Structures are given as structure tokens and as C-alpha cells.
Amino acid sequence: MPELRVPFAIDDEERLYSPATAERGKSYFCPACRELVVFRQGKIRIAHFAHKVSETCSQETIIHKTAKLLVQTAVQEWKSGKSNSPTLQRVCQICSTFVSQPLPEKVDSAILEYRLADGSVADVALMVGNMAQAAVEIKVTHAVDDMKANRLPVPFIEVDGYEVIENATVWKPTIDNFKPLTCDQCKSTYLRFQAKAEQVAKASNLELPTAYYRYGLHECWKCKREIIVFSWPKDGMWDNSAPTREPLPSTVQYRYSKTAGGKYWTNTCPYCRSIQGDFPLYAECDGPFYAIDFGADSPTVFDRDMMKMAVHAARIGLL
């Protein structure tokens, strides 16, 4: 009869043991079904735990339960001073590079199969005091479905169960619903961008907005001076709807364009008053608003968009 491989077994006190740390003569159990497992170790076969296939257990449930226990153990050992903090391999929301982010110190413990306020059950709840502040969901065969993802009342990540078993201290989210992360390099780039934008705006007697109007650095096609140009939430490059937020930047005007064959809301140069066409601003790869979607209006999206434009400005040599 085929056997189920058990990567980690538990003892009577529910402590986890790998085949490398197990001892002959001791009793070990499956973490999923609590059935007694066989510890096999020999000169030919690699040491492992196993038990017979049963109706109450499967390879998927073993991996799922084991991964949950390993996540919990990683947090417990960190908080007891036996190891470093588990780290998350996350992606910068601006430049898409991978960043190692340790769990925040405020996390006190991890509780398995914790019932949340909405009635859903988190695989592992990350606790701050007696409150669940985040969740870790374990994927073996099936990912977190949309219904649960939309319902969970706390931020969550999903991690692959097999990867957790390989290394329980480094979590690589397959779904990352935590607060978006911006890497230190992008933050530094934004500070340089902001300093230059303030300098250019001051020279042309413009005030930089803090909401709604995104702004970028651009060279006027006619007088060749460096200027500030603005964009605002709209549905794609060809959406010529009027800006709706006051105060309106003085260089955003409703002007007639021979090229466009009509009037539309556009950027103008504060020095020579020439129209700065939308195509070079949005569609050309060295345009300040190239490949950035301004379809939403919120403080979070505003900050993200400004970070993206700062990084783009650095890439095309404007900083």
C-alpha cells in the first residue's frame, strides 16, 4: 500500500521534528491526522516519516497543516529570542524589485486557525496583543479564492506550503495584500525628484500641488526651458475632460491647437506660452507621464503615481 510522506512530525507535546532531529525509539505523529508515523532511517534511504494512506488524511492536508505549524513556530522562536524575525520577500510597488522585509516588532504571536471578526478562519493569525492584525494563508493546491480574499477583515499574504517546508523563515507571497511596499532606492529617488521639481516650480512662479494634480519635469519644445507639467485623473491619454479641482494650475489652460484641430485642456509653457501637446507627454517613452495610469483619485494613489514619475524621471536622465 502506498505511503504518505510526512516532512515534519510532532511528539506528544506537539513539538515539531524533522527527520534530521528525530530519535529512534520515540513516538511521532502526523501533524494533520495525529496518526502514529513510522520513522525510517537507513544506510540507503534518506531519513523520513511516513504513514499509510487513509480516508482521514492526504498529502495535501499534511503539507497544509505542517506549513501552518512551521509559520507559527518561526514566529514563536523569533519572539522568544531563539532566532531572527521571519522575513517576507516582497515586491516594490514602484520598481518591482524584490525587497526583504522583516515582520514588524509589534507582532506578539501567531495563532493557528483563528476565527476573525467576519466569521472566516485565518490559517495563521498574526497577533498584536489580543487582536489579529494580519493573516498568513497557506497554498498547497488551491489558492485563496476571491470570496475569502475580499471578505478577510485583516491584511493577508498567501505563501506556498512546499516553500514554507523548505524554509520557514523566508516567506515568499504568492498573493500580497499587505500595505504596498516602496523600496529605499525609490524613496531616495523621489526626494531628489521633489527637490528639483520645487526648484523648477519656484523659478516659474508655480506652486506644486499635494493632491489630484500630478506633476512632472519636461523641456518645452519651443523655448527649451525646463518646466513643470500637470496631469489629473482621467480615462486614458485621449480623455480631454476638464480638471475638476481648484486651484487650477495657471499653466493648465483651455486652448486651441492646430495639431489637434480644436480646443482642449492642455499644459502650456510658463515662459513662452506654447502648448505642450499630450502626445509627447503621455505617449513618448521620454514623456513625464509615459505609461502611468491616472484613472483614480485618492491620497494613496497620488503618492504612488508621484513615486512612479520620480523613478521614470531618473531613468530618462532628468535627475
CA distances from 291 to 158, 278, 279, 280, 319 (A): 29, 13, 12, 12, 19
Q: Note the pLDDT of residue 237.
A: 65
Q: Note the pLDDT of residue 187.
A: 97
Which residue(s) pair with 214 in the sheet? Answer: 231
25: left (phi over 0), alpha (psi -120 to 50) or beta: left
Asked whether residue 103 is assigned to any structural domain, the reply reads: yes
Q: Note the pLDDT of residue 42.
A: 67
**The domain containing residue 44 runs over which residues?**
1-57
Same domain membership, residue 153 and residue 45: no
Same domain membership, residue 301 and residue 203: yes
Q: Note the pLDDT of residue 281.
A: 94
Over the chain (319 residues), the average pLDDT of each successive run of 10 is 85 90 90 90 74 86 96 96 96 95 96 93 95 96 81 93 96 95 96 97 96 96 97 78 92 91 93 94 93 84 94 94
Task: Tell me the whole-structure pTM to 2 decimals.
Answer: 0.84
Same domain membership, residue 171 and residue 130: yes
Q: Note the pLDDT of residue 236.
A: 66
Domain end call among 11, 37, 57: 57
Same domain membership, residue 172 and residue 89: yes
Q: Note the pLDDT of residue 44.
A: 60
